[in-house]
Amino acid sequence: MKTPVLTPKLERLLEGVGEQIKLARLRRKLSSEQVAERAGINRGTLAKIENGYPGTLIGNLLNVLKALGLESDILHLASDDELGRKIQDANLNVKNRAPKR
């Protein structure tokens, strides 16, 4: 599989996500071996996730979040899509008259 090429800004964002996952693991006092085993991946894959490697499968990321008890955090992605809501609202058709009864 080819590793995706990211802009420097996206690389920093992904590294930040990996750092947050690593900190969550350390706060729980879990070793990388324990989390990797619970997530069904090897320690090398966990290290790639924690280092923000862009070629990591999203399924592996979700398994790591589950191993940390954070799987519901994935639902917060794009949950407050302010720009998307504005675009959606701008395209709504507004009727000039009330519906007939």
> In the prediction, which pLDDT does 2 show?
81
pLDDT in tens, 64-82: 999 999 999 998 888 888 8
Residue 35's nearest CA partner among 25, 44, 45, 27 is: 25
pLDDT beyond 90 at 10: yes
First vs last C-alpha separation in the chain = 59
8-90: CATH class: mainly alpha
pLDDT in tens, 19-39: 999 999 999 999 999 999 999
Residue 77's nearest CA partner among 62, 90, 64 is: 62
Question: What's the whole-number mean pLDDT along residues 44-69?
Answer: 96
Rounded to 5°, the CA angle 37-54-30 comes to 30
Residue 55's nearest CA partner among 7, 16, 6 is: 6
